[in-house]
Structure 1
Amino acid sequence: MGEVRKLQKKLRQIENLEIKFSLTPEERFKISRKAELRSRLAELQLQLSGPQQTLGILGDEKKEKMKRQVEDAPEALPSPHPPASKILKGGKVSKAQAAPAPTARRQDGGGGAETAGQLERTESVCVSDPCRDAAEAQRQEEDKFTQLRSAWEKARFRLRRLEGHNDIVTCVVAINSMVVSGSRDTTVKVWHVPTATEHKNLGGHSGGVTCLSAPPPEFCKRLAWSLSLSDKERFILSGSADCCVKIWALDIGQCVKSIYTFNAVTALCFVPEGDGYIVTGSDGGKVQAWSWHTFQNCQSINAHQEAVTSLQSQGPLVFSGSAEGGVSVWENRCSERDPLRLLHHWSGQVTGCGGGGPDGRLALSPRGERLFVAHGRAWLKILEWRSGMMSRLTNHSSLSGVTDCAHQTGGLLIGSCYDLANGESSLNLFSMPGCRYMASLTWPQAPRILCLATWTTGSGDHRWVTGGRDLIVWEQLPSSGKQRGDVTVWRNSCLESSSLESEGDTEDGEDTDDPDEDEDEDDQGGDERRRRRRSDAEDSGGAGSSWMRCALQ
């Protein structure tokens, strides 16, 4: 397995090199070896696929661990995004325990024995009712899951490629019938989904666009009123490696405000609390808050050691993830100065996402007290952010799999999956809140998916957009129609038997990368490159940092 892991590591590094802004001759040479390395990895995996070792995440000697399931009680959530007050209070909902009322005994002497027998039978029925109710609820839940899985197995999608960007698409946002995309080519584009045509080309950044965020309509109305624009105007925020956050009015296609942050912007989100806040993350690990009312800086925090790669909001909470694997949870106190208060910070050692170095990436997706983390491996990590407890969900049948993003829509969890060994890409679907695998979606020559946005139509059909090498709109077709879909729906048997696993049960199967380990042991220039990488990491935070060159979210 040693050579397999080395090949997987080299292929992962090559994939990251391919999405950098610029390449050295040495890096181009490494990329040229990708086909050779893939061929060798496929050969080794074939040799290991005998009875003593499977292609799955764990070998046969660990099958018992794979079978153990972590008890995961479904969250008592009224909606995918519970009220923030309940999240902050952390209170537990009390369960009413109704005891059966005692049965009155008959006082007549002749019916004493019969009455006692009836009482025993009544009490027996009362005691067994909760068991029957639980069994019935479990059966209904299982039937519901079976129906949902069957529906997704029959799902059909039409794919339409949106042509216009001339470089990697790093971020996407869906607004009504429009899709907004940001690219390494420095542009933000607005697309009309029904016609799959470019609606607006928003050029103004001088560096690659790394992140997008859409304020809610009520906050858009406030800004539109202050700018004497139509109250139907929608705005989009874009962050870039040029250290700017720009606010675009989509209908008029103009930048109405530009905020200079003094650092390359690698992540941002909008917090719809109080007067509204823009929260940005930089390639040097800084988290900053900006007032939506004045656009002035409210707070600057050196929150992480490496680049902030993801920012997500949930009510008054803000979640930040960084390249070194750390995750922080912040509370927005809606104040003019220093609105963000740190609630929890979990290091890369706790999350198990460390070791990626400055090129590491984390993508976050919060749900209640759970935080789903995609970190470039074959698993989705799940962090109980109050306690720091970690579990993981298998998202690929081989260690050569890469998970770049996770996204939730309604009761569905979507994880992107890319195979380093053969270049195949797919989306895996899990039901929520139990995280049970349902199906996988792919199509011929599917590119690596780096970002994802979803919405539903008035009829409840799904519309998705995925970005990476290609920008693609997914349109769900009616089940009763005769049109043939472009997507292949299949079941991965390795994922069907997987369940949520505690980190303690499976950490020995983790494929970690040592950032100081040289890619080629026989390379005489390895020591010099290691020294150069350490120097680059120490100097990160400027325009030359590796995160800015990758410009991913």
Structure 2
Amino acid sequence: MGEVRKLQKKLRQIGSLEIKISLSPEERFKISRKAELRSRLAELQQQLSGPQQTLGIVADGKQEKMKRHVEDAPEALPSQTPPAPKILKAEKKSKTQETPAPAARLREAGGGAERDRQQERTAPAKMSDHCREVPAERSGSDTEQRQEEAEFACLKSSWEKSKFRLRLLEGHNDIVTCVVAVDNLVVSGSRDTTVKVWHVPTAAEEHKNLGGHTGGVTCLSAPPPEYCKRLARALSLSDKERFILSGSADCNVKIWALSVGQCVKSLYTFNAVTALCFVPEGDGYIVTGSDAGKVQAWSWHTFQNCQSINAHQEAVTSIQAQGPLVFGGSADGGVSVWENRCSDRDPLRLLHHWGGEVTGCGGGGRLTLSPRGDRVFLSYGRAWLKILHWRTGTMSRLTNHSSVTGVTDCVHQTGGLLIGSCYDLANGESSLNLFSLPQCRYLASLTWPDAPRILCFAAWTTGSGDHRWVTGGRDLLVWEQLPSAGKQRGDVTAKRDSRLETCVLESEGDSEDDEDTDDFEDDDDNEGEERRRGGEEEGGSGSWLRCVLQ
């Protein structure tokens, strides 16, 4: 057992080294031993596995403690889950409708969540009393449950038969760190310092190469069309012009006009930019995060700095907006939630901050997040997806890999679908795991031969509701959903992992914390301790950025 854990630690360390650019001879030697370590680990697992013990399986021996612990987001109900893997046009239409003012929306969301919680507390008693008086109601409830199960079975079957065509976009000469989709364009950022634009219908070649950063590109964001029009008018450009924001380790945020392929504005932030998002509220805001843990807000109208917040102890690795709310995640495991008050000075007001001791996501890794309603889904380089109920600080986790050597690098929500990337350090297998929302029930896993590690993800839909995705990492790939009934064969294999079906969702209190495999330290030497001391001497805040962009 001890040797197994030591091998798992070494493979985690190699997984971290592989995404570096500059490697010492010693580091290259460690990476060269990957195949040998994987072979030895597989041999030990085969020797030690048995009917009562299967090493490397997440939550093995703890399934009797696992329970469903789902708290539905206020905006999503089971009946709203799409019955097939397509986005309904009605959902698209609802997104374009006018929404209340930020403060009103926030109060409405809070009030709705409180009413939901009150209903959840009172519903069991009411149902019990009512059932004694009117037994026929029970059959109605059973009918609804059977209908939900039938819809889920249909959805699951549809994803098991799903077919995708993959197209490789070649042009970057280093790891792709971020991707976004704009109309028929895919925009990618890379450690090679470039931002590239690809036209999806003719994706064999790059559409534009946006060079200007002097450091690796870490993040991208696409402002909505109405905000692009305002800037286009100010610059005397076409109203149809679309803009892209890029952040880089060179401490700059650049605003690019896609049709002309030029940088129209550059913001210097004094720190390496590690995350950013566009907040479409009021006149619009650009919110950036730095490797020093600082969060800053910039006016889209004047491009002046409106606010600087020392929000985290380590690098801010993810920032996402949801209506008037802004969510930030850090390498220290902390998650902050702000309300945008749409003011010229200090527009962000802190609502909640949950530290790494609450989220359990600390350790200096890359924390990415995907918010929806009262829940924030977190990925942090482990075999689980964490779920933070941000109003209360309640944590639960969703098994995303059947092995403790599995890592989750990114998480994304699209329509009624939750998608988590999945990579096994022990054997190099990579896939995307699909779960239905809001119940977080496992649907299927999508993979293909020699699939690379997926570090970033973007999704959109065609006019017919078919999915189109783009994934980045060592390779940049466009996924196009094919008709299930068609004769064309897909490039992706849909498979099922029965172990993920049994490990659905568990409360943090019902399971042990992440085990010793979370440590990258090599037991054969003191390099891990020296690396930590070195990080502390340099300030520690940029450890994640140095790992990814060195």
CA RMSD of aligned residues (A): 2.3
Tell me the secondary structure at the aligned position of residue 519 of structure 1: coil
- TM-score, normalized by length of structure 2? 0.89
Partner of 1:63: 63
TM-score (ref. length: structure 1) = 0.88
**Secondary structure of 1:15's match?**
helix
Q: Answer yes or no: is the 8 Å Cα contact 1:211–1:268 preserved in 2.
A: yes
Kindly report which structure 2 residues correspond to 1:320-335, keeping only aligned pairs within 5 A, or say none: 320-335=328-343
For residues 138 and 525 of structure 1, the distance between their equivalents in structure 2, rounded to whole angstroms, comes to: 55
- In the comparison of the two structures, how many residue pairs are matched? 515
Q: What's the counterpart of residue 449 of structure 2? A: 444
Q: Is the 8 A contact 1:282 1:308 kept in 2?
A: yes
Query: How far apart are 1:540 and its partner, in Å?
Result: 3.8
Match of 2:15 in 1: 15
Match of 1:534 among 517, 532, 536: 536
Give the alignment of 1:373-388 within 5 angstroms: 373-388=378-393
- Which amino acid is the alignment partner of residue 400 of structure 2? N
In 2, the alpha carbon distance for the partners of 1:325 and 1:280 equals 18
1:128 counterpart = 2:103: no
Structure 1 Cα separation of the partners of residues 36 and 74 of structure 2: 47
Alignment partners' CA distance in 1, 2:319 and 2:228: 20
Partner of 2:250: 242
CA contact (8 A) 1:11 1:34 kept: yes
Give 1:128's aligned amino acid. Answer: P
- In the alignment, which residue of structure 1 is the partner of 2:149? 142
Provide the rounded CA distance (Å) in 1 between the counterparts of 2:377 and 2:540. 30
Q: Secondary structure at the match of 1:507?
A: coil
Deviations 1:28-52 (A, max 9, x none): 2222222222122212222232112
Give the C-alpha shift of residue 125 in structure 1. Answer: 10
Q: Which residue of 2 aligns with 1:368?
A: 373
What aligned pairs does 1:154-165 form with structure 2 within 5 A after superposition?
Answer: 154-165=161-172
Task: Report the equivalent of 1:218.
Answer: 226
> Is the 1:330–1:341 contact (alpha carbons within 8 Å) kept by the matching residues of 2?
yes
What is the identity, as a one-letter code, of the residue corresponding to 1:426?
S
1:395 to 386, 397, 400: 400
Deviation for aligned residue 1:532: 2.4
In structure 2, the partner of 1:496 is 501
Gaps spanning 5+ residues in structure 2: where? 81-90, 121-129
Compared CA separation, residues 137 and 369, structure 1 to 2 (3 A)? same
Instruction: Report the CA distance between 1:13 and its aligned residue.
Output: 1.9
Q: Deviations over 1:465-521 (max 9, x none)?
A: 000000000000012211010000101000111221001111245456357xx4134
1:129 to 1:87, Cα distance in 2 relative to 1, 3 A: farther
- Give the equivalent residue in structure 2 for 1:47: 47
Could you tell me how far apart the structure 1 residues matched to 2:28 and 2:301 are? 47
Q: Does 1:195 align with 2:196?
A: no
Is the CA contact (8 Å cut-off) linking 2:131 and 2:138 kept in structure 1? no
What is the DSSP-based 3-state SS (H/G/I as helix, E as strand, rest coil) of the residue aligned with 2:357? helix
Residue identity matched to 2:76: L
Residue equivalent to 2:289:
281
Q: Distance in 2 between matches of 1:331 and 1:547?
A: 27
| Residue matched to 1:260 | 268
Instruction: Pick the structure with greater CA Rg.
Output: 1
Q: Match for 2:506: what amino acid?
A: E
Question: Of 456, 459, 465, which aligns to 1:460?
Answer: 465
Matches for 1:71-220 after TM superposition, within 5 Å = 72-73=71-72, 75-77=74-76, 85-89=104-108, 90-91=110-111, 92-93=114-115, 127-196=134-203, 197-220=205-228
Change (3 A) 1:75 1:339: closer
For residues 227-270 of structure 1, give each alpha carbon's deviation from its aligned partner in whole angstroms, at most 9, with x where no partner exists. Answer: 00000000000000000000000011100000000000000000
Choose the corresponding residue for 1:418, options 413, 419, 423: 423
1:370 Cα deviation after fit: 0.1
Unaligned runs of 5+ in 1: 98-122
Shift of 1:75: 4.2
Structure 1 residue 130: Cα displacement: 3.3
Distance 1:48 1:86, change over 3 A: farther
Aligned equivalents of 1:401 and 1:18: distance in 2?
A: 15
Matched, 1:547 2:545: yes
% identity of equivalent residues: 74
Alpha carbons 1:171, 1:211 under 8 Å: kept: yes
Q: 1:314 to 1:73 in 2, by over 3 A?
A: closer
Question: What CA distance in whole angstroms lies between the structure 2 residues aligned with 1:528 and 1:327?
Answer: 28
Q: Partner of 1:308 in structure 2?
A: 316
Counterpart Cα distance in 1 of 2:421 and 2:336: 23
- Conserved in 2, the CA contact under 8 Å of 1:424 and 1:445? yes
The farther-off stretch of 76-85 and 524-533 is: 76-85
3-state SS of the aligned residue for 2:241?
A: coil
Contact 1:320–1:329 under 8 Å retained in 2: yes
